[in-house]
Every structure is written in structure tokens, then in C-alpha cells.
Amino acid sequence: MNIFQVSYKNLLRRRLRTMFTIIGIMLSAWVLVTLLGFNKGYENSLNENIENMGFQVVLTAKGCPYEAATLMLKGGTGLRYMPENMVKDVAGKPEIANAAPMLMHAVFDPNKGESGGTTVFLGVDPNTYPSMKPYLKFNNEKGAWFSDKAKEVVLGFEAAELEQREVGDLMMLPGSEDEYTVTGVLSRTGTQDDGMIFLPLKTAQSAFKKEGELTMLGMRLNQDVDASAFEEELYKLPDVQVVSMAQVKNTIMSLVSSAKVIVLSIAFIAFLIAMFGVLNTVLMSVFERYQEIGILKSMGALPKDIFKMILIETTLLCSIGGVLGILFSFLFSGISEMAIRYFLPFAPQGALIAIDTKTVIFSFISITAIGIIGGVYPSLRAANIRPLDSIRSE
């Protein structure tokens, strides 16, 4: 037997109290790991979403820049249009390596999901759009992009699941009697493309009665081009909005930074709750064992032995709670993510909670350290109990 075993057995004395304290620490650790994981995951997903847009600069009809950013990321509604011929001039500029004109159309479908939902169609040029997004792959060998002007569609992964269509199936567009052939179903990308129904640009313009109009023009610049100077040149165009990927990223990241402060504040509060929970429990346990600790000292325990014994009890409580909290954050990250998506419907695609080794180690060390700090005062109180006082109180 050693002092560690004595401390461990002391914790078994009031099992219920020990259990509740561990649960308290576990919850704090769970909150901490999940929040830190969310911080990281949200930023990663957002970065990934922006990178996966495939465009460096997007031209849209003039309007709110945030609306334009939302349109780029989520395929938003309230769409504005710009003339196709004006865009053609831009697309021909030598600075541009590739330009993909797009027409987005969103239709509310009352039969979609439990309370209806929006189906987003994207008319794209099959010669330019796929090369801008090389990560778009078909989920089986039969899949292929449509030909220009054909009555064909390519479905994003989730759109295909929702429409329950496979390659070769026919489907109709809302408000149209024409049948369209599914030429391909894309693999899951974790981006807004998963929910999209793609069709040839000309077909889309005709089907949605938007001939000669575009929603946006996605551009990738040549490598040696000064992007800022080129954007400045685009600003001179009337009635268009220039949105660069760097701009979008900076705007969203500054919003995320503000959210980060809030998240870290909550994590700090979780820390404090854990610390005071431990302090309260251990101090109560020391007071309850006042006489017993005095007797241990009369039997030869030095103040440092008692300090060590109580601090080991605290460390055990915190490390068990910390490990359980970390396990829970892994086990229930799916549920936490669902909850976050429920409260943040416009959260980016991809894993919102990214718990890596660094987060786990940081959280474990922090929660244990903060618990131990909470245990220092009760340990000192215990170490300073005089055996004589405890015998007198007998």
C-alpha cells in the first residue's frame, strides 16, 4: 500500500459525491473539448469551403457584398442578374486563365423534407465549370458531364439522394413539362455542390426564362497576374459586384474571430466551474475528516504527506473527469454537431467539430491543472490541521 492507494480509497468513501464531482469535471472537459474542437473545425470547414469554390474572383450583379458572399457559399436566394454580353467582354481578358459563367435558380419545393425546402439549380458551361472544380468526381464510372444545350442534368450527391435519381433516370424541372436525363451523380464533396442540380447554362437560361442573363461569373487568374490590380480594374464596370475569395475569407474570418472570443469565454467559464466544484468538494471532504487527518498526523504523517494525499485525491478526480469528458466529446461529437447545425443553419459544410491530439492533450492538461489549483487550498488547510486540535474536538 502507498499514499496513492490511500487517496484512491478515500475517494470511495463518499461514492455518490465523488461521482457527482467527476461528472461536473467531465461536463466541463466535454464542453471545453467540444468548444475548442468547434473553433478549429468551423475554421477548417470554412477555409475548405472557400478553397473548394474553385474561383479566385467572382463577378455578380451589384448588391450587398455579404449577400454575394452567401450566394457563393450557400447558393442563396434573392438572386440578382447581370447581362451575359457584358460578362463575355470580361471573360476575354488576358489576365483570366478560366472563366465560368453561371446562372443560379432557386425554387421552393413544398414537398421537400418535412416543411418544404429550396432546390437550387445551377446552369454551368460544361467546358469551363468542371475544370474550375477538379475535386468534383462522379460516384460511378457511368457518370459524365452533359453536353452544351442538351436537356441533361448532373446531380450533386445529396440532391441525387433527395430526388432518388440515378444515372439514366429522367426528371422534370419545376414548372416545366420537359424531361431531363441524369447523366451523372457527383461524389460527396462536403460543399454546397452536394445539394446542387447542375444543367447546361443555355438550357437553364431557357428553362428558367433568363435568356441572356447570368447570376455570376467565376474566374481563375493566370499565375503572374496581380489579383488586386485586376480587381481594381473590374470595379470600374457598371452594375457589377466584384467579390474576391480573399475578401470573403477575410470578412468571414473576422466574424469567426469574434465568435472565437465568445467560445473561449464559455470555455473559461467551464474551467472556473470545474475549479470551484473541485475546491468545494475537496474542502468539504477535508472538514469532514478533520479529526481523522489530525489522528493521521499524530501517527507520524507530516504536513507534506497530508498535502500530498489530498492533492492526489484532487488529481484523481480531475484526471478521471477529464478523461471521461474527452471520451464523451468524441462519442457525442455527432450529436453536438447536429445541435450546432440546428442553431447555426448556415454553418459551412464538412466536420464542424475537429478534435485533434493537440486539443485533447491541451484540454486534459488544462482541466487537470485547473482542478489541481482548486485543490491547493483544501490541501493546505488539511496539511495545517494540528493533531492537538482534532483530539480536543473529540
Partner 1 sequence: MELIQANNITKIYTRGSEKIHALNNASFSVNKGDIVCVIGQSGSGKTTLVNVLGCLDNPSSGSLTIDGKEVFKTGLSLSESELTHVRRRFFGYVFQKFFLIPTLTVKENILLPAVFQKKYKANEENLDPIMEMLDIAKRKEHLPSQLSGGEMQRVAIARALINNPSVLIADEPTGNLDSKRSGEIKDLIVNLNKEHGITVILVTHNTDLAKIGNRTLELTDGVLRQ
Choose the stretch contacting partner 1; rule: CB under 8 A; options: 46-54, 62-70, 287-295, 320-328.
287-295
Choose the stretch contacting partner 1; rule: CB under 8 A; options: 4-12, 55-63, 148-156, 275-283.
4-12
Q: Is 272 in the site for partner 1 (CB under 8 A)?
A: no
Q: 3-state DSSP call for residue 218?
A: strand
Choose between 221 and 385: whose C-beta lies nearer to partner 1.
385
What are the beta bridge partners of residue 152? 181
| Other beta carbons less than 10 A from residue 53's beta carbon | 18
Q: Is 10 in the site for partner 1 (CB under 8 A)?
A: yes
Choose the stretch contacting partner 1; rule: CB under 8 A; options: 183-191, 205-213, 241-249, 291-299.
291-299
Choose between 313 and 337: whose C-beta lies nearer to partner 1.
313
Rounded to the nearest whole angstrom, what is the least distance from the CB of residue 7 to partner 1 in the complex?
11
DSSP codes, 97-138: EEEEEEEEEEEEETTSTTT-EEEEEEEE-TTTHHHH-TT--B
- Binding to partner 1, residues 296-325 (CB under 8 A): 296-303, 305
Q: How far apart are CA 193 and CA 163, in angstroms?
A: 15
| Other beta carbons less than 10 A from residue 139's beta carbon | 16
Choose between 197 and 296: whose C-beta lies nearer to partner 1.
296
Rounded to the nearest whole angstrom, what is the least distance from the CB of residue 1 to partner 1 in the complex?
5
Q: Is 394 in the site for partner 1 (CB under 8 A)?
A: yes
Q: How far apart are CA 97 and CA 112, in angstroms?
A: 39
Among 148, 211, 292, 356, binds partner 1 (CB under 8 A): 292
Rounded to the nearest whole angstrom, what is the least distance from the CB of residue 303 to partner 1 in the complex?
6
Choose the stretch contacting partner 1; rule: CB under 8 A; options: 123-131, 133-141, 152-160, 289-297.
289-297
Q: Are residues 103 and 80 in contact, defined by beta-carbon separation less than 8 angstroms?
A: no
Choose between 71 and 296: whose C-beta lies nearer to partner 1.
296
Q: Are residues 149 and 125 in contact, defined by beta-carbon separation less than 8 angstroms?
A: no
Q: For residue 277, give Cα distances in angstroms to 8, 168, 225.
A: 19, 62, 59
Q: Is 6 in the site for partner 1 (CB under 8 A)?
A: yes
Q: How far apart are CA 334 and CA 163, in angstroms?
A: 25
Sign of CA dihedral 100, 103, 106, 111: negative
Phi-psi region at 54: left, alpha or beta (left = phi > 0; alpha = psi -120 to 50): left
Q: Using CB under 8 A as the criterion, what x/- string covers residues 371-390 for binding partner 1? A: ---------------xxx--
Choose between 3 and 262: whose C-beta lies nearer to partner 1.
3
Choose the stretch contacting partner 1; rule: CB under 8 A; options: 33-41, 44-52, 83-91, 292-300.
292-300
Q: Are residues 286 and 293 in contact, defined by beta-carbon separation less than 8 angstroms?
A: yes
Residues at the site binding partner 1, with contacts judged by CB under 8 A = 1-3, 6, 9-10, 12-13, 291-292, 295-303, 305, 386-388, 391, 394
